[in-house]
Homo-oligomer: A and B are copies of this chain.
Amino acid sequence: MLDETFRALADPTRRSIIDILAAGDRSVGELVDQFDFAQSGISRHLTVLERANLIVRRRAGQKRICSLAANPLEEADDWIRRYREHWGARLDRLEVHLAEDEG
């Protein structure tokens, strides 16, 4: 799952799509208009984002509206935070060590 999440985020176009959707929902066509790629390319990017549970698409007449998923990036955030906390903890230990040397 983390594989799919991080891989989805590794593409700048897909991150841009997420940025746009963070400002509000958009139809597929509205998203296509924001980029210089063919409609088929954007459609596939949306499929990648959807399979990574980062966005959802719902029908609204002929259009399909894209929005951010309900609770996305939780797993990715957890992973990164755990890792960064590890790093922070090691720094703290280093500081303690230095303080002990001084005392």
Contacts and interface: CB of A to CB of B under 8 A. Distances in A.
Interface of A: 2-3, 6-7, 9-12, 15, 18-19, 22, 68, 71-74, 76-77, 79-81, 83-84, 86-87, 90
Contact of A80 (B12, B71, B76, B86): B76
This chain: how many copies in the complex? 2
Contacts of A18: 83
Contact of A6 (B9, B74, B77, B86): B9
A93 to B, nearest CB: 11
Given A10-B3, A12-B3, A80 B77 contact: yes
Contacts of A71: 87
A37 B80 CA distance: 25
Across the A-B interface, give the 5 residue pairs with the lowest CB-CB distance, nearest first: A6-B10, A7-B10, A22-B86, A6-B9, A6-B6
